[in-house]
């Protein structure tokens, strides 16, 4: 079983260097690493061919955001696509072997979601999984999931062959998983496979990034949920984004633009992209967890993390 690591990057020379080295350190030999560069101007274009001659590298003259991962998938030859960010890599040198063992033992598992470890936050795990689970005694087939962090996931090629690739940046993993689940594929969470996420600071707190991701999540809501669910989720999302804008201290014009963008995308999606998920699949794409619950858990983790880091500084 061949694993193809596909990395999309833009102006993250030092981060992508660390990421590539982390993947080269994997003891599993049947692998390839593909880097697609969204028009970097920071020396990445010169660095990768010089320092990593075995890596397949493609520099693009324009920035096509995360969608360029689809180009990397087309270039790849593996049976498994390892989805990753350019500031991440597996913690263990045996992560690939663990994933291959899972796939070979469980032909019904199509996507492996790994544990995201936030390096800049004291190596805390990102608490994205909404259900109670024992992370010390992980079942051989993992836990039922509806999502994977973009920092580390193993995806069988047959998933791409059937449902296509990722949409634009912003909740692209959630959209991909929803389409995969509706198509009959099985997503499983394995918290014993750790991915180190260094969380590059490049562009992370840009208000434009926040506006775009807010828009994409609203697009997701109206793309897949029936109106009886989409409407309350929309109300919650407007409130949530207002709170986020205040916490992040974004300019008032950015907050207004965010609300305008979310409103307009509702009408666009309703008219052009409605793919309402069948009722018997709604639990599978939400795991029975409400949006309010997810938002509360996120804020709780943010506050707890900040308090913990402040305590350590004292």
Write the pLDDT tens digit of every residue in 132-148.
999 999 999 999 999 99
- pLDDT confidence bin for 314, thresholds 50/70/90: low
- pLDDT confidence bin for 282, thresholds 50/70/90: very high
pLDDT of 206 strictly over 90: no
pLDDT of 109 strictly over 90: yes
pLDDT of 205 strictly over 70: no
What average pLDDT does the segment 232-242 reach? 94
What average pLDDT does the segment 222-249 reach? 93
Cα–Cα distance for residue pair 282/130, rounded to 1 Å: 15
Model confidence pLDDT, tens digit, residues 144-178: 999 999 999 999 999 999 999 999 999 999 999 99
Per-residue model confidence (pLDDT) at position 83: 97
Per-residue model confidence (pLDDT) at position 247: 84
Record the pTM: 0.92
Model confidence pLDDT, tens digit, residues 289-311: 988 877 777 767 666 666 666 66
Per-residue model confidence (pLDDT) at position 117: 96
Percent of the chain with pLDDT over 70: 93
- pLDDT confidence bin for 121, thresholds 50/70/90: confident
pLDDT of 196 strictly over 80: yes
What average pLDDT does the segment 184-203 reach? 90
- pLDDT confidence bin for 202, thresholds 50/70/90: low
pLDDT of 25 strictly over 60: yes
pLDDT of 203 strictly over 60: no
């Amino acid at each position: 079983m061949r694993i193809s690591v596909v990395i999309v990057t833009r102006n993250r020379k030092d981060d992508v260097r660390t990421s590539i080295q982390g993947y080269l350190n994997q003891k599993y030999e049947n692998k390839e690493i593909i880097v697609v560069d969204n028009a970097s101007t920071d020396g990445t274009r010169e660095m990768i061919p010089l320092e990593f001659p075995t890596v397949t590298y493609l520099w693009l003259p324009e920035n096509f955001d995360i969608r360029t991962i689809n180009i990397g998938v087309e270039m790849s030859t593996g049976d498994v696509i390892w989805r990753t960010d350019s500031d991440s890599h597996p913690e263990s040198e045996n992560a690939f072997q663990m994933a291959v063992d899972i796939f070979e033992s469980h032909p019904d598992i199509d996507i492996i979601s790994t544990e995201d470890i936030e390096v800049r936050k004291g190596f805390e795990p990102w608490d994205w999984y909404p259900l109670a689970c024992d992370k010390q005694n992980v079942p051989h087939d993992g836990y039922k999931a509806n999502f994977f962090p973009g920092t580390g996931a193993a995806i069988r090629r047959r998933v791409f062959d059937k449902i296509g690739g990722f949409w634009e940046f912003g909740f692209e993993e959630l959209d991909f998983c929803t389409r995969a689940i509706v198509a009959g594929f099985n997503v499983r969470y394995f918290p014993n496979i750790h991915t180190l996420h260094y969380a590059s600071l490049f562009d992370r707190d840009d208000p434009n990034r926040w506006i775009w991701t807010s828009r994409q999540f609203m697009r997701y809501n109206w793309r897949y949920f029936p109106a009886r669910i989409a409407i309350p989720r929309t109300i919650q999302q407007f409130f949530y984004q207002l709170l986020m804008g205040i916490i992040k201290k974004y300019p008032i014009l950015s907050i207004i633009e965010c609300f305008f963008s979310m409103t307009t995308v509702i009408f666009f999606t309703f008219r052009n992209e409605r793919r309402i998920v069948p009722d018997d699949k709604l639990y599978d794409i939400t795991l029975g967890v409400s949006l309010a619950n997810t938002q509360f858990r996120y804020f709780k983790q943010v506050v707890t993390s900040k308090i913990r880091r402040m305590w350590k500084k004292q």
